[in-house]
Copies of this chain bind each other. A is one copy, B any other.
Amino acid sequence: MKKPARPEIPRKTIYRLSVYLRCLQRLKENHIQTVSSEALARAAGVKPPQLRKDLTYFGQFGTRGLGYDVEQLAKMIGNLLGTSRLQPVVLVGVGNMGSALLSYRGFEQEGFELIAAFDADVDRHRDRDRPPPVYSMDRLPEVVEKYRVRMAIVAVPASAAQEVINRLVDAGITGILNFAPIVAHVPESVMVNNVNLAIELENLSYFIQQ
């Protein structure tokens, strides 16, 4: 896969842009139209120079003495992150964690639509009448193609995860949120973000003993 043509934005900046976007959305809800870099930085928990540096990737558009236009900045960040329109996402694995994610209603508020789930054992998903539908893995390529899905959430056991990830990559998925406690092997063109709640808790557990 080719290198991206647009300027390479550091990964940590991308994370911070998500945080800025949330702060801007809260300002919008409170009918606030402009915000200074100091105030936005404080809300996001970063230093003002950091914020200003992060926003230079969009060129100059804050007005000196007036600050940023809340609506305009939110729109630009949303466009950059690709969340201005609803992104379709599939989930693989409806065991413990997968079921929890199925019952999580927060994705749509954030611009993601869980359009379908997949499991090796379709029958174990009891609540089949509630969306999204749960299919067998055979139907993965068809669904991914039909809805032009690029993102998937993996919530299968460690032993099945690499095989599932291979199938996702074959089907055309390029972004994976992985809950399985494995180090996934993927082509360079595929991005994997790992979330492991047990490891986060274990990490805390170490530090609270200090």
Contacts and interface: CB of A to CB of B under 8 A. Distances in A.
Contacts of A56: none
16 contacts: A14-B203, A14-B207, A18-B199, A96-B104, A96-B106, A100-B101, A100-B103, A103-B103, A109-B198, A111-B205, A112-B205, A151-B204, A175-B207, A177-B204, A193-B200, A193-B203
Which of the listed residues A104, A174, A197, A204 has the most CB atoms from chain B within 10 Å of its own CB? A204
Interface in A165-190: 174-177, 181-183
Interface stretch (A31-39, A61-69, A81-89): A81-89
Interface string A1-26: 00010100101001101110110001
Interface of A: 4, 6, 9, 11, 14-15, 17-19, 21-22, 26, 44-45, 80-83, 87, 89, 96-97, 99-101, 103-107, 109-112, 150-151, 158, 174-177, 181-183, 191, 193, 195-210
A205 B81 contact: yes
Contact of A45 (B18, B109, B183): B183
Contacts of A22: 158, 181
Contact of A205 (B26, B82, B197): B82
B158 A208 contact: no
B80 A206 contact: yes
A118 to B, nearest CB: 18
Given A45-B183, A200-B193, A99 B103 contact: yes
Nearest to A185: B45
Nearest to A3: B210
A45 B181 CA distance: 11
Contacts of A87: 201, 205
